[in-house]
Copies of this chain bind each other. A is one copy, B any other.
Amino acid sequence: MPKPSVPQPERQEKLQVILRHAAQVFCEKGYEGASIRDISRSSGVSLAGLYHYIKSKQQLLYLIQIHTFKTILAQLENSLSGVMEPVEKLRILVHNHLDYFLQHPVEMKLLAHEDEALEGTFRKEVLEVKRRYVEIALEIFEEMRGAGVARRLNPRVAVLSLFGMMNWTYTWHRAEMDPRADALAETIAGMFLHGVMNGHGDTRAKSVRPAGARLRNRRARADNL
C-alpha cells in the first residue's frame, strides 16, 4: 500500500488548473463547441495527459458545475444563518448570488448556460443541488407571504423571475460599464421588492431599505475555484 507523500496535494492542484482552463474554454466556445484538444492546448497538458486527471469530457463539466454550485450554496447557507427577517434573507440571497456571479463569471455562465449538457448521474447530482438552492429561495418567499406580503403572487413565478433577473446578467453585464455586485444587487432586490414605480405611479421615493445594510461582514470569506 504505497503512501504517496507528494501525489495527493499536487495532483489536486494540477486538476484545479485544468478545471480552470476547461471552464474558460467551455465558457468561450460552449460545451459541445469546445474540444478536449482546445483544453489541452489552453492548459498546456497533452491530450492524453488530461485523461490522467479526468475520466471524460462530461466529468470535466460536471466537476466545474458541482463545485461551483456547492460553493455558492454553502456560502448562501452560511450568510443566511441567524437571520430571521424574511425580507432581509431575500436581500442576502440576491447579494450572495450576484456577488458570486460577478466574481466567478466564467463558472456561473457555465452553470446558467450549460444546464442541459450533462447526462445520467452527473446531471442528476447537479440538479439536486440546484433543487436545494431554489428551495431556499422559495421558502424565503413563503415566509414573506406568511408575514403578509405578496399574497396575490404565484410563488413559483415570482421566485423564478427573480432568478431570471439574476442569471440573465451573464448575457449583458460588462464590468467596465455596469454597476458592481453590491449596487447591482441593491437595484435588483429593490426592483423585486418594490418594482420600478416607487409609490404608485409618481415620484415619491421612500426609504426602501429596511434591512440588509450591514451584510458586508457576512460575506467576507475565502472562496477559491
Contacts and interface: CB of A to CB of B under 8 A. Distances in A.
Interface of A: 30, 32-33, 87, 113, 115-117, 141, 144, 148-154, 156-158, 160-169, 171-172, 178-179, 184, 187-188, 190-198, 200-203, 205-206, 208, 210, 222-225
A196 B156 CA distance: 13
A184 B87 CA distance: 23
A30 B152 contact: no
Contacts of A87: 197, 201
A150 B196 contact: yes
A108 B165 CA distance: 17
14 contacts: A32-B33, A87-B197, A87-B201, A144-B196, A148-B202, A149-B201, A150-B196, A151-B203, A151-B205, A154-B179, A164-B167, A164-B168, A195-B195, A200-B206
Given A152-B205, A196-B149, A198-B152, A163 B157 contact: no
A154 B187 contact: yes
B223 A154 contact: yes
Contact of A168 (B117, B158, B163): B163
A192 B196 contact: yes
Contacts of A222: 152
Contact of A194 (B141, B154, B171, B194): B194
Given A157-B184, A158-B191, A193-B196, 7 more contacts: A115-B171, A150-B198, A153-B223, A157-B223, A158-B187, A164-B169, A165-B168
A120 to B, nearest CB: 16
B201 A179 contact: no
A154 B193 CA distance: 16
A223 to B, nearest CB: 5
Contacts of A210: 201
